[in-house]
Chains A and B, each alone.
Chain A
Amino acid sequence: MKINPNKCVACGNCTYVCPMNAIYIDPVMNRATIDRDECVECYACFNGLSQEHLPPGLVRGIRKVLSVLRVRFDPEPDVCPTAAFEPDELVWPRVVRRAFSDPSVPHESTGVEGRGTEEVKTNDVTGRVKVGDVGFTIEFGRPGVGVRFREIQVMCWALAKAGVAFEKRNPITSLMSDVPTGTLRPDILDEKVMSAIVEIKVPVAEAEDVVRLVWQVEKQLETVVAIGVATRCNDDGTETVVVPILERLGYSPQRAKTNIGLGRVVTVEEKELVGAAKA
């Protein structure tokens, strides 16, 4: 992302909306400026700010007069008055920043928007996490901190060393140059993203060890980590396997995402089969 200095009027609205705090008013130029190394190409500024198309010279003049009089206009806080933001043409490896940070862009590897994962949200159709399995989503960087792939690799190495298998349909896994060792492509390691999720699945008996391993590794990282733990419920809808493990580890889960089991397989092929059977 870039800000056109010929349009920017240094109103400062954009400095608050950047989730990475990467925008500031350069005191020499008196224009909003983006710290490219910290920018994760999330497009929150471009997509989230409403835009006016006012003449920059006029706006600067009015702002100057008001400033001299110590009068402060109280405009809407989520507006760029001159539509000064202009998306860059992103090339590899910088383009991975946007793929992991702008939720409106689907990941090429999975076709899913956001962090590109389905987890147990479609488990009633995919059967991804079965009875006896525990699925983990280990998310880095949010809220509002961000993460570089170099740090994610530290966790991936540790998980791989522990013999954990990575979910194949996951954007992080698709960026590994060597999946068995959890090694990521070297050309992306310094790229920063809003957040990214490593997905793994283990037998119930190994779940506690995985959490303890994550605790150990997260201490070495300069970012925040959010763990999600997924499991299949019993036939009567109760869940009696994972909660006792979490409580033993000292957690008291408050919030969850609950798949209510209404999904079913409806593909073109299956529709045709049903049609043929009826005929």
Chain B
Amino acid sequence: MTNTLHRFGNAQSFKDDFIVFAIPTKVKKDPDAVPKLHRFLEMALEFKPVNMGDSRHGGAIRPSKHLGPLAHWMRDNKPDFRAVIDGVSTPSTCAAVFDNKEAAEKFVKRVKEADLGLSVNISTSIDGAVECCDYADLSRHSIGYSLGFEGKTEKIPDASTASLSTMCGHGMISHSLAKKMICFVKENRRTPEQAAAVLTRFCSCGVFNPARAKRLLEDARTGHQVA
């Protein structure tokens, strides 16, 4: 799962994008992995995440298999964090997404104190992760750098669209839908929050950042390029 690594944008663009995830390795199985993952997510709640998820069951804003017709006028866009926590039934990667550094720092410190024994990673700007480690008095163990996108980059759309669609590194958020949501916001057919919720539902592991998406959509409405 490098699905949080290659997000389109520069370091400044990740000022409101901090993903902290816990992963039990499949190589050496921890028999208590599931309760530890529950605890990890419960602790995250204290710091007001904007999304949470596990890689098997999805994020905090999910599609519905039985939507009522009134949803077209009264759509529920509230994240259901409890559903995420209760849904973790097998060892998988669990993530919490924060829209500010302070919350991420405090959460990392809390996770360190809890000493769960799970591998924990921070996906954000390089400096952002260093600051989280400094706050928690941790030394980085390993690091995986993103070198961005290469090859036939002419097949990648404009920066606003790519910044939205690459927030699901599994590619579940199509460029077409991201573009459509930018158009919906431009035409004032949907608010940035509503458009961000639509995109969030397609992220099947809960690492999409609806707060950053809202900011990007607001910028795109007035033609601002991403930063």
**A residues bordering B, Cβ < 8 Å?**
15-21, 42, 44, 47-54, 74-79, 83, 101, 103-104, 110-115, 117-126, 129, 135, 137, 139, 141-145, 169, 194-195, 197, 214-215, 218-219, 221-233, 235-239, 242-243, 246, 251, 253-268, 271
Contacts and interface: CB of A to CB of B under 8 A. Distances in A.
A231 B173 CA distance: 30
Interface of A is mostly: loop
Interface of B: 1-11, 14, 21, 23-32, 55-58, 63-69, 71-72, 75, 92-93, 108, 111-112, 115-126, 129-130, 132-133, 136, 138-153, 155-157, 162, 165-166, 169-177, 180-181, 184, 189, 198, 201-202, 204-205
Contacts of B31: 266-268, 271
Given A256-B129, A257-B2, A260-B108, A17 B174 contact: yes
A19 B151 contact: no
Contacts of B174: 16-21, 44, 144
25 contacts: A42-B172, A54-B69, A77-B177, A112-B1, A113-B56, A113-B205, A115-B3, A115-B170, A118-B26, A119-B2, A126-B25, A142-B6, A214-B150, A223-B155, A237-B133, A237-B139, A255-B14, A256-B126, A257-B4, A258-B142, A260-B133, A262-B138, A266-B30, A267-B29, A271-B31
B108 to A, nearest CB: 7
B148 A226 contact: yes
Contacts of B71: 50, 52, 76, 79
Contact of A195 (B120, B129, B171, B173): B171
Contacts, number: 356
Nearest to B7: A255
Given A144-B156, A229-B145, A254-B146, A103 B201 contact: no
Interface of B is mostly: loop
B117 to A, nearest CB: 5
A238 B67 CA distance: 50
Pick the 6 closest A-B CB pairs, nearest first: A261-B141, A237-B139, A263-B119, A122-B25, A114-B1, A258-B129
Contacts of B122: 257-258, 260
Nearest to A19: B174
